[in-house]
Structure 1
Amino acid sequence: MSKAVVIGGGVGGLTAGVALRRKGWDVTVLERAPKIDPVGSGLAIASNALKALDTLDLGDEVRELARLQGQVGIRKANGRWLVHTSGDDAEARYGDSMVVTLRATLMDVLMDALGTDRLRLNTTVSGVDADAGTVRTEDGDLAADLIVAADGIHSATRRALFPEHPGPTYSGVTAWRGLIPRGDLTIRSTESWGRGLVFGVHLLAGDIVYVYATDVSPAGATHGDEREELLRRFGNWHEPIPTLLRTADPANIIRNDIYYFDTPLPAFHQGKVALVGDAAHPMTPNLGQGACQAIEDAIVLAHLIGPANPADDAEPAGGALAAYTAARLERTSKIVRQAMTICKLTKLRNPVAVGLRDFGMSAAARLSPDLMLRSMDDLLRWRPPVMGGNDKNAGPEGADAR
């Protein structure tokens, strides 16, 4: 039977494992951590990723989680709307809205679908032989017909395969994320922009509020009390932001610098290795597509690789991996650029530039009320390949998957 080894137990790695198992592959997912402990607090799963999960019969399970409701969009620091839409409008346009949930919840769904017997925790990968299909670990070598590298933004596998690539670039902003009890607050899913600052608020299931914030900062800066830093930056913004921060447990706030690929990889494969998710195309979070694109990657990869070969002398992936690069490289590179373009707009600090930005967004929204949604058409109208069908179904409204 065809054997696949997946390096990394994050969203992309687990989705790839599930998708390949559904194709009949013998799958082993390797995770270096002693347990799956999802970092990141909240996670957005947009319509493109929900439809990708439908091919694994997991979409409806995820849709049962917290979905966007009511008016959503971008506001100023004083609370005035710049541009907005609604979850209902998004569903009418794309057939789905967006689910915002705990990253841990999605991970649980994927791990249940994979099966715990397919997951090897506390396993460090020391290297791969892309041509031979060998994964080296401290417990011995694993032979594979396909190796899926889902080992994150600082992927050691990617560095080994493409040593000349410059790697991730610092975006210029740092990010905070946290989970806060709702209490008796009224919560709308919004993102507010100021001078170089962003603050997002989303209500999750169980009356938990997921918040995130960004600010322009030198890479590697640290603070003694991250909650106090957030209060210093956002304490005079519109409600419920100050109240949420005052009630937050500092232990539940995490911070990390944001990196992305300024230079795309030349390919997402080499030999028997395919890269997925942040290992292939790290992006800023401004479109909420990091996990979504990892899910897309996994579904398209499994579709192009095809069903497992039951023979002991299974052929390697061959041209299927070149087709995977062709299907994914252009699309994801475009999304990385789009996300960084938005990031640059949020980084503006000059009052005149910020005023022009806000006026332009507000005026455009008045002239075209569906502007916020229309700007996402190419992204959210993507459709997954029909499993067992032709990959030409993978793309915006049945177009090519690039």
Structure 2
Amino acid sequence: MNRRTTNWAGNIGFTAERLHHPSTVAELQAIVAGTERARALGSGHSFNAVADTAGALVSLAHLPRTRELDTATGRVQVGAGVRYAELAQWLQERGRSLHNLGSLPHISVAGSCATATHGSGDANGNLATAVDGLELVTAEGDLVALSREEHGADFDGMVASLGALGVVTSMTLRTAPEFDVTQRVYEDLPLEALDDHFDAITGAAYSVSLFTRWRDPVIDQVWVKHRVGDAPRGGEESGFFGARPAAGPRHPVPEMAAENCTEQMGVAGPWSERLPHFRPGSPPSSAGEELQAEYLLPRAQAVAALRALEPLRERIAPVLQINEIRTIAADELWLSPSYRQDTAAFHFTLVPDTAAVLPVLRLMEERLAPFGAVPHWGKLFTLPPEALRERYSRLPDFAALARRFDPGGKFANAFLREYVFGD
């Protein structure tokens, strides 16, 4: 049966011959072994064709929702289709935590890690840096286990793999003891404050996010998430580097209701309920009525990159809902934008009008090119394939790894052939 489906935002129509919903790993193995082309589909929260295929599109949503905690090692094995909101609550109930969460808790574990999706915090690596093991179905339909212990440095090429090695069925993540977080929002941070204090601002708490609509030379909101028990890092004695405390709860997009956002005003609560911006049971952000783009670049260049975008203010603002600026710690994952460099991410939530958005993205990419900016693997971008490939030093190593796992290219789609393999 042919069936057309779309991503979460509806801007991508998948071209797959068939959408499969296996309920067991054995059923998944049979599907993969019996088709010429296959790709896995997580929560669909990508805005380009990274998950598309001309063959069989396999949803992970109905696979067993494994959650097994090894109390001796503190590791949790979790089914690939499980979403972070579900996992975070389950771990919290058992006194454990993850080091980081994305702003949306609705995204799937496997899809987030495969695309090096990140969360926020100067000292916090992206979500995939917690992965110590995974199981996947290979092109022949075999179920294989991969681990850092067994594969050493090559494992850093296997985690954020864009689905090129096979269909992941489960992941093993490191956890830590639970912790509480307070969240406060500050408004109208002067843009000039970033010139001299960017590192102090983003390093002022466990996680800090800056939001601007590019309507005025100001950071409209600063979301500051403190880990309870951490020593004060300064900046909040009277306001926050010139910003004033918000008088009540806020949504990053001022016109939207704050009731969908996680609790603020300095009320302490579990990490699982404070690190995301949005509540698990509420519609995320604009609930699909949006497009998203994101560019990641060396953290040391963040202010210069922000200033480089300023001449585009009048072009950006009309197509923008909100721009979030956050930081991510360096890692060793081959396809991570944070590979061996501390990174700043400029995330743009845009109006759902592709024709209006793409020309603005081209202009922004031109301005950000001198800083070596790379797009998030799952967001919109217009960067030429050769420009993207030259900014990832480990792409040749990854291509060799993918050929070893999938010599026939069963999991290679048009996106991977163009942007990763250069075919």
Per the normalisation by structure 2, the TM-score is 0.27
Q: Which has the higher contact order (CA 8 A, sep 6+)?
A: 1
